[in-house]
Structure formats: structure tokens, C-alpha cells
Amino acid sequence: MARRFSSNKKGMGTVEVVIIVAVLVALALIFRESLLAFGGKVMAFCFDENKIANAFN
């Protein structure tokens, strides 16, 4: 007779969380320069004083 293992579905374990964090850190390090460039473009677009002044006029 086949033995069934009980499955724990209460939540994620510590190992899964550590693996996910490690993958996210690795991706951030690999794409660091492109992420910084993208963030700089977004910030420059959002905080452009000419666009803000034109919106209120």
C-alpha cells in the first residue's frame, strides 16, 4: 500500500523565503545599471519643474 505524506499548507517555510530573496538579490545585482538608469529616468520625468509649472498654469 502506498504511503501518503502529509502536506503542510500553512505557509511558506524559511528555505523558500531565503531562496526567493537570494534570487531577487541576484537579479538586482545583474541588472543594477539598467535599473538605476530606469529609476533615474522615472525620477527626472516625475520631478521635472517645467512640467509641474505648466500643469498649474
Q: Per-residue pLDDT tens, the chain, 57 aa: give them.
A: 566 666 666 666 888 999 999 999 999 999 999 999 999 988 888 888 787 777 776
Which of 48, 44, 47 has the alpha carbon at shortest distance from 36?
A: 44
Q: Find the domain containing 37 and state its range.
A: 31-57
43 lies in a domain?
yes
The H-or-E segment that residue 17 falls in is helix 14-30
12 lies in a domain?
no
User: For position 3, what pLDDT does the model report?
Assistant: 63
- What pTM was estimated for this model as a whole? 0.52
55 lies in a domain?
yes
Which grid cell sits at 12?
511558506
16 lies in a domain?
no
**Total number of domains in the chain:** 1
Which of 32, 50, 52 has the alpha carbon at shortest distance from 40?
A: 32
